[in-house]
Structure 1
Amino acid sequence: MPHTFRKAERLHSRTTITQLFEQGSGWGKYPFRVVWMLLTELKGAPVEVMMSVSKKKFKRANKRNLLRRRMKEAWRLNNSPLKLFLEENHLRVACAIIYLPSEELTYSDIEKGMKKNMERLMDEIKAALSPTGV
C-alpha cells in the first residue's frame, strides 16, 4: 500500500468535526490526545484524520506548522495497517489527533507516539465492533 495522505483522507467537514467532538470517544496517550468516531456513510476514504497543535502553547505559527508537518509525516508512513484493517471490515473512521506537550518533540518521538496511538485506535475499533463491547 503506498504511503500517501490524500485530500480525501483529511477531515475538513465542519459537521463531521462537530459530531466527532460531541459524540466521539477518545483518550490521551502521550504525546497526543486522540478522539475518534465510526462514520455511517461508507463512501470515501477509510479514515479521515485532522491534526491539531495548540495556539496557546505554541504562539508562533511556524512552530505549529512544523509540529503538524511532523505529525502528518508520521501518520503517512505508519497508517497502512489501520487502513487495511478498516478496508477489510468495510468501516470508516473520523479521527482527530491533538498534540499535547508544551515543548517541541523530535520527529522520532512523534513517530513513536503516533505508532502507539494507531495501535490503540485499532484496538478500540475492534472492541467497539465486538458483540460484547469489550
Structure 2
Amino acid sequence: MYTFKKEERLCNKKLIDGLFHNGSSFLCYPFKASWMLADSGQQFPVQIVFSVAKKRYKRAVDRNLVKRRMREAYRLNKQALLYDVLNGAGKKLVLSISYIGKEISPYDFFEKKMLKLLTQLAGEAIK
C-alpha cells in the first residue's frame, strides 16, 4: 500500500514530452503539477516524475533532499487521496511534480502541501 515501485515512476521520454506539451498544469505553491490523462496500458493509476530546478538549487545534495521529501510525502498519501479516486473513475494519469519553492522547508510542510496538491489533482482529473 505504501510502496513506490519502479513501474510507478515515469521514465518514458515520449510520455514526458507529451506531458509538458499537451498536458494541463496548476500551481500549488511550492509545487507545480503537470498532468495528462494516459492510455490504460499502464499498470498503476499514476506514473509520476519529480523534479527540482538546477538553476535554483546548485548543489545536488539539496536537490536530492527536496526530491526525497517530495517522494516520501507522495508515497504516504497517494493511495487515499489519488489512487482510490482514479480507480473509482477508471482513469489513469501521467504526472510531473516540480518544486518551485525558494527555500528547503521541513518535511511536515512538504506533507501538508502535498496533501493539498493531491486533493486538487484528484478533483481536476475526474472532471
TM range (shorter): over 0.9
Q: Which entry has the higher C-alpha Rg, 1 or 2?
A: 1
Q: Tell me which stretches of 4 or more aligned residues in structure 1 moved more than 6 Å.
A: none
Distance in 2 (alpha carbons) for counterparts of 1:45 and 1:67 = 24
What is the deviation of 1:41?
Answer: 3.1
Report the aligned-residue RMSD: 0.9
**What amino acid maps onto 1:103 in structure 2?**
E
Instruction: Tell me if structure 1 keeps the 8 A contact 2:50–2:71.
Output: yes
What is the deviation of 1:43?
Answer: 3.3
- The residue aligned with 1:130 is none
**What amino acid maps onto 1:119 in structure 2?**
T
Instruction: Tell me if structure 2 keeps the 8 A contact 1:42–1:91.
Output: no
What is the deviation of 1:109?
Answer: 0.6
Distance in 1 (alpha carbons) for counterparts of 2:114 and 2:23 = 19
Structure 1 residues not aligned, in runs of 5+: 128-134
- The residue aligned with 2:19 is 20
Q: Which digits, 9 at most, give the CA deviation of each residue in 1:34-71, with x for residues without a partner? A: 00000023432110011001100100000100110000
- The residue aligned with 1:73 is 72
Instruction: Tell me if structure 2 keeps the 8 A contact 1:32–1:100.
Output: yes
**What amino acid maps onto 1:21 in structure 2?**
F
TM-score normalised according to structure 1 size: 0.90
- The residue aligned with 1:107 is 107
Q: Which stretch of the first structure deviates more once superposed, 86-95 or 10-19?
A: 86-95
- The residue aligned with 1:34 is 33
Instruction: Tell me if structure 1 keeps the 8 A contact 2:86–2:126.
Output: no
Q: Which digits, 9 at most, give the CA deviation of each residue in 1:49-102, with x for residues without a partner? A: 110011001000001001100000000000012111222222110000000112
- SS of the aligned residue for 1:4 comes to coil
Instruction: Tell me if structure 1 keeps the 8 A contact 2:89–2:126.
Output: no
- The residue aligned with 2:97 is 97
Matches within 5 A, 1:38-57: 38-57=37-56
Distance in 1 (alpha carbons) for counterparts of 2:63 and 2:111 = 16
